[in-house]
Copies of this chain bind each other. A is one copy, B any other.
Amino acid sequence: MSNKIFSFSAVKSGIKYSDKYDFALIYSNTPCNCAATFTTNKVCAAPVIVSKERMANPIQAIVVNSSNANACTGEMGLENAKNITSTIGSALNIDPESILAASTGVIGVQLPAQKMIDSIPDLTSNLSGNNQNLFAQAIMTTDTVPKYVKKTFIAGTKTYTIEGFAKGSGMIAPNMATLLSFIVTDAPVEKNLLRDIFFDAISKTYNCITIDGDMSTNDSAFILSPLSDNYLDEKGTNIFKDTLYQLLEELALILVKDGEGATRCVKINVKNAVNNDEARICACAVAESLLVKTAIFGKDPNWGRIACAAGYSGAQLDQNTLSIYFNDIPLLLSGTPVGYDKDRLIEIMNSESYEINIDIGSGDGSWSYWTSDISYDYVKINSEYTT
């Protein structure tokens, strides 16, 4: 069903490739509250700087380009980002200060701004409530699948929709947004509440996935919800919160599964840590370990690398109470290795998704991360990216 508030568009502006949708737009026919998380990288892209400055405003559009990050581009990069939003503002007859921007692609190359500006009439005239697939496709870089999830929920007598887009395949690390993501909903949620709910959901989803541990210069995640005189009540807000969490979790898993060269998606569960934060630190180190990720790729039950990463994570742990399982098969129990059925273990490691369970044995804290493996294709993709 066509979206009645938000419309989407994309064109092939020829930023880097002549035949790729690379310039995209989300437009709302009504001003929106916006919450957003941005990269904490001190080298951050021009669109991040521009968007941050405009976060206090009611928002009506987000313009996105792939194939060029507009990062490390100095003053000219900032001017380009501002000129593009100004031109879109004129075309849509809205205040440029109500337009946010995001970019993704190669760092350190100036945008072909004139080409992009020339294609803005096409971009704005193609807006449609049915162009979700086109938009999802246009924001892709090394992604192999477009990433779009739609969910509906009922609050009171009304049915609301949340639609989410994400882009990301490499340079994915568990810190702040870790990717580009755009969420739009017709459910009206008060601005501060929207921010709290969005940040909380992100902390347990996008911030708990890792592909290669590199935090990008462009990470941004946005949510738009219409300004209203009649915001969702508490009950409705709770349903919205649950639905948003499910949507972000689904997108996060799609991101990990589409990790550059990934062949496996593994959930790292840490339990019985001193507290949740110590569990998170431990899960993160295991999820990011290159040796764990290559062992997953090789279907090599080399669980010692998991113990090793847990040990150097910095999380509080005593190796004498540490236990490790693949799904429900124990490999280490309270610091002592145990015999295991190798055939069953290899069967688990051959499946596309499985769980590595780590029991610290010292408290009731827990946390989970999702990680992909590192394969030959990861190296191939990343050694041939700009050339």
Contacts and interface: CB of A to CB of B under 8 A. Distances in A.
By DSSP majority rule, is chain A's interface helix, strand, loop, or mixed? loop
- How many copies are assembled? 2
A290 B42 contact: no
Nearest to A74: B336
Contact of A386 (B109, B289, B300): B300
A74 B322 CA distance: 10
Q: Specify which of A299, A312, A319, A374 lies most central, judged by the most chain B CB atoms within 10 Å of its CB.
A: A312
B108 A40 contact: no
Contacts of A318: 42
Contacts of A41: 308, 311-312
A247 interface: no
B73 A300 contact: no
Given A290-B382, A320-B74, A305 B107 contact: yes
A73 B171 contact: no
Contacts of A299: 387
B298 A387 contact: yes
A375 interface: yes
Contacts of A42: 310-312, 317-319
Contacts of A270: none
A303 B214 CA distance: 14
Contact of A387 (B216, B300, B307): B300
Contacts of A202: none
Contact of A298 (B295, B305, B382): B382
A: interface residue count bin: 35 or more
Interface in A108-137: 108-110
A102 B136 CA distance: 54
Interface in A270-295: 289-291, 294-295
The 9 closest A-B pairs by CB, nearest first: A107-B304, A298-B383, A43-B311, A74-B336, A294-B382, A41-B311, A108-B304, A215-B312, A41-B312
Given A39-B312, A74-B336, 12 more contacts: A42-B311, A42-B319, A43-B308, A75-B336, A212-B291, A214-B308, A214-B309, A215-B308, A294-B383, A295-B383, A298-B387, A300-B386
16 contacts: A42-B311, A44-B319, A72-B319, A74-B335, A74-B337, A107-B303, A107-B308, A171-B291, A173-B312, A214-B305, A215-B312, A290-B382, A294-B378, A294-B383, A298-B382, A300-B387
